[in-house]
Structures are given as C-alpha cells and as structure tokens.
Amino acid sequence: MRKILITGCSSGFGEDIAKQLLEDSSNFIIATMRNADNREHSLKSLNKDNLVILPLDITNKEERKKVLNYINEKHDGKLDILINNAGHGLYGALELTSEEQLRDQMEVNFFGTAMMIKEFLPALRKSDSKDKKIINISSMLGQTGMPLSASYSASKHALEGLVEGLHFELAPLGIDILTICPGRHRTNFMKSVQWSENEDAEGIYIAQTDNLKKLMQKFATGKEIPLSNVSNKVVRIINSKKFVARTYVGNDANSFYILRKLLPFNILMKYIRILYSKMVSAS
C-alpha cells in the first residue's frame, strides 16, 4: 500500500487532493491539518480504512515529530509520497507590513515546508517504492511577482529555489521533487488572506489596496474553477513514471508561464505594470 502524507487538508487543494487519492484503495492517506482533534471535517465523515487524520502545524517542531513518530510506529518508518500543501497568503504594501507578519509568512510558506522535507526525508529514503516523490503546492506568484503581494511572492520564490536545488540533491536517492503552480481557483484561500496590519496614516496605498480587494472579491465570486484541476494533476503525477520538475495549472498560470518564457524580463515587467494599472483602475 502506497503511504502518502498531505499537509493542509482542512480545506481547498489539500482536502480535495486527499479525497481524490482516497478513491484508490491502494493509497493510505495521512491527512494533516491544524487543530485536527478539535474540529469537525468532511474527511472524518468518510470513515475510510485507508485514512488517518493527524493534527499538524508545520511550523511546530513537536507536532512534526509526532507525525514522524506515527509513521515510524505504524508504517515501519516508511513514507512513499509527501505532499506539501499547507500555506497562507499575506497581501498589502510592504511598508505597512509588520515584521511579525513578514516573518510568519516565511515561517509557514518556506521554513515550515523546508523542515517537512528535511525531517521526513529519512522516511522517504526507507521506502521500497520506485516512485518516491515530494510534491509542493506553490503558486504562479512563485514565478512572477505582483503588486501588493511581494511578501507572499517572496515566500513562494524561496520555495521554488529550494525545490530547484533539491532536484539534483535528491535524484541520486531515487526521490523526485517538484512544484505545482496553480493559478486562480475557488478555495478558502481568499477568505484566509491576511493584510498588512499597520495603519496607512498618509493614505499612500489606500486606493491600490481598496481596488485590489475589490478585484480579489470578483475573483472569489466569479466563475468557479474546480479544485479538481489541481487534484487530478497531482493524481496523474503520482501515477506517472515521467519526471516533472514544475507544472502549471489554470489558464492564468499557463499564460504567465508562456509570457515569462517568450518575453525579455524588462518587457514583461513593463507589461505587468500596465496590466495592473488597468486592473485596479477598473475595479
């Protein structure tokens, strides 16, 4: 039975990925989320024999250790696939972002994920599988920075850099590592977004921030783009022997990928400035 650990399963991509993988009885899913013991969840109601739900805040060393202990005790210390999905978004002008907010963004999206990879690598190395994988849910903003999302984008750029280096480091161990970069999808991500907490006393960023919030609300209530786009991609990657280093999901993510590939960097930056100016002025 293939043992798969998924972080951030309380909602969104993580929850949908877990449900998709549970349909295959040859998968044993270790679904993790913060405060799992104290919350009702749709995964719990499934009553699947190939599912266990464990509490995990990926920034908490003791909680990571407990999950690792579970794998050591129940699965002979072996893990076949790690899916790093847990994360959150911080938006707003950097000037108005507190140091605590900025550090927390990096703690969750980069350091927490990096420690998951580091600490669970021994379990992956012990696996007898010939298709060991570490799949990281990133973002198209991990490739292209956007206004008022510099902190979030920086955390995802850091993750992309880590994974790119680990491609070569882990290949001799028989472990593939990759990122999936989704574009806009209807998840709880928008509801859980944090905004810069410091007051804009001079009103420098008020217009930009208000217009971006309106734009994000349009995205949140607009045409629903199914989560299954991402979860189906994860399932295909897990079941494929073809090596994938990075893949994009969604028309917007793929469009930015093509633009980044075709356009010189300075021209792309100028294009994004013009595009953003039109987007916020039209909100």
Q: Annotated catalytic residue: which of 138, 139, 149, 196?
A: 138
Task: Please name the amino acid found at residue 188.
Answer: N
257 catalytic? Reply is no
Is 10 part of the annotated catalytic residue set?
A: yes
The dihedral region occupied by 91, where left means phi > 0, alpha psi between -120 and 50, and beta the remainder, is beta
N-term to C-term CA, the chain:
50
Tokens of 151: 């902190």
User: Catalytic: 156?
Assistant: yes
Q: Which of 19, 132, 156, 233 is catalytic?
A: 156
The verdict on whether 248 is a catalytic residue reads no
Out of 10, 139, 149, 151, pick the active-site residue.
Answer: 10
> Which residue in 91, 152, 248, 257 is the catalytic one?
152
Give catalytic residues, as residue numbers. 10, 138, 152, 156
